[in-house]
Amino acid sequence: KQEVTQIPAALSVPEGENLVLNCSFTDSAIYNLQWFRQDPGKGLTSLLLIQSSQREQTSGRLNASLDKSSGRSTLYIAASQPGDSATYLCAVKGGANNLFFGTGTRLTVIP
Amino acid sequence: NAGVMQNPRHLVRRRGQEARLRCSPMKGHSHVYWYRQLPEEGLKFMVYLQKENIIDESGMPKERFSAEFPKEGPSILRIQQVVRGDSAAYFCASSPPGQGRQPQHFGDGTRLSIL
């Protein structure tokens, strides 16, 4: 059964710093991996989707990488801003149609 | 193009009552997924439906929970005889047809509280 782990569980950084969030998964037979953002009391906003054949995806200040063979992904956030404060979730999609989620990294960017 | 719409946003029920959660997928999406997020836990898959068909319900509790996605109208997640442990955020996601590689788009969820 697929298990997804995110480290660290919480992270605080001063505004302007670059940071990396980590995600690992146990079964490398995946279709794709998605990074989401969740604000308190809100739904999930999709940030980046990496297909299994891809190595990375970029959107603005965000860059996500995927190393399928080692079961790892990272989300890099450049020049962090207070508005980036949220919980970041990693989810993988395998042969079944559902997503397997990690428990998230709660990011606080301090002005 | 409206996103995934869930209602109600908040639902309060007393133990033993029924809860009905609704989800309208994005336009053009025929695949619907329900997930549950218990306090301080990650999202867990419950059920995957296409129009008039349950494709995968491996994450659904065996009793009291049911889901449908009729030909017309929203998908419904129904919880009978609710208990305190059902308190959670329930999220619906949808995706277009296409095996495996399509991203899932999420609604804002329904927060269910059981008194």
pLDDT in tens, A83-102: 999 999 999 998 777 899 99
Among candidates B99, B91, B75, B44, which has minimal Cα distance to A45?
B91
Q: Is A91 on the interface with B (CB under 8 A)?
A: yes
Q: What is the pLDDT of residues B11-27, one digit of tens each?
A: 999 999 999 999 999 99
Q: Which residues from A are below 8 Å from B94, CB to CB?
A: none
Q: Does A43 touch chain B (CB under 8 A)?
A: yes
Residue A41 touches partner B, C-beta closer than 8 Å? yes
**Each residue of B34-88: pLDDT tens digit?**
999 998 788 999 999 998 899 999 999 999 999 999 999 999 999 999 999 999 9
Nearest CA in chain B to A52: B101
> Which chain A residues touch B110 with a CB distance below 8 Å?
none
Cβ neighbours of A82 (radius 10 Å): 10
Residue B5: beta bridge partners?
Answer: B24
